Amino acid sequence: MRLSKKLENMFSAIAFAEEGEFETARQMVAENVDEPPRKPAVDEVKLGTPRIKQGRLAPKV
The pTM assigned to this predicted structure is 0.52
Main-chain dihedrals φ then ψ at residue 28, nearest 5 degrees:
-65, -40
State the CB neighbour count (10 A cutoff) for residue 15. 13
Could you read off the pLDDT of 9-24 as tens digits, one per residue? 889 999 999 999 999 9
Taking a C-beta distance cutoff of 8 angstroms, is the pair 51, 58 a contact? Answer: yes
What is the structure's pLDDT at 49? 65
Could you read off the pLDDT of 23-42 as tens digits, one per residue? 999 988 887 776 676 777 77
The residue extents of the domains of the chain are: 1-37
What is the Cα–Cα distance from 14 to 1, expressed in whole angstroms?
19
Total residues belonging to the chain: 61
What is the Cα–Cα distance from 14 to 5, expressed in whole angstroms?
14
Could you read off the pLDDT of 50-60 as tens digits, one per residue? 666 656 665 66
